[in-house]
Amino acid sequence: MYELIRDNVQRVLAIIEKLRPGEGVKLMAVTKTRTRREAEIAIEAGVNLVGENKVQEAMAKYRDKLAVPLHMIGHLQTNKVKYAIDLFDGIDSIDSERVAEALNRRLNRTMPVMLEVNAGREETKTGLMFEHVRPFLAKAEQWHNLLFVGMMALFPASADKDIEENKKNRDLMKETGELWRMSQKEGFPWAPLNELSMGMSEDFEWALEAGSTMIRLGTALFGARPKTGVL
């Protein structure tokens, strides 16, 4: 199993280098339901960051620091903020003013965060719609302890969709890349937006073509997700 993880990481790194040579695109291993040892194998093989969806699962696995930064990529409940700020190196899922305010209030240092964008406008997912991004960023100056270093975009699942649906997702990725670049040009000191976290196991090659600087992969690295995780 561990050899498969190593092979998969190397395969993805080769794809990144082929599509975006020398650009320093980051590879995040998403370790939901995975063991700490699996995460460590992926790190040894070359992943740059680890992402977790739930605070409780991350607390169980990662009380001892990993060799790479640990990021929160799932919805952050405000009652979990006090645990998240000590556990994670970055919060990539700022999806509302309420979450931003709760984080800012608890922090006594500057924390790198990302604004979560609901690119597919899906009611079942969190994140800001495109038209709400600029007003949110303009208001973010008040949260002095948050530095918005990027955007994390969510898209409709791509696997097993027909050609037309997949084309829509590719177009959405291009639009998201344009939104990111336009938002960078605003020049907000508190929101440099250096990163665009976009692309998962089923669509990361499209995301790379659309300008993503960070891809978030789970099954592409670890194989099919087990029903329950072990620590």
pLDDT digits (tens, 9 = 90+) for 73-101: 999 999 999 999 999 999 999 999 999 99
Structure confidence at residue 128 (pLDDT): 97
pLDDT digits (tens, 9 = 90+) for 106-143: 999 999 999 999 998 998 899 999 999 999 999 999 99
pLDDT digits (tens, 9 = 90+) for 64-80: 999 999 999 999 999 99
The angle at the Cα of 25, spanning 170 to 57, to the nearest 5 degrees, equals 90
Report the C-alpha gap between 180 and 171 in whole angstroms: 14
pLDDT digits (tens, 9 = 90+) for 145-190: 999 999 999 998 765 666 666 788 899 999 999 999 999 999 999 9
CATH number of 51-213: 3.20.20.10
- pLDDT-based confidence at residue 38 (cuts at 50, 70, 90): very high
Report the C-alpha gap between 198 and 141 in whole angstroms: 25
DSSP 2-65: HHHHHHHHHHHHHHHHHHSTTS--EEEEE-TT--HHHHHHHHHHT--EEEES-HHHHHHH-SS-
Q: Could you tell me the residue ranges of all domains in the chain? A: 51-213
pLDDT digits (tens, 9 = 90+) for 208-222: 999 999 999 999 999
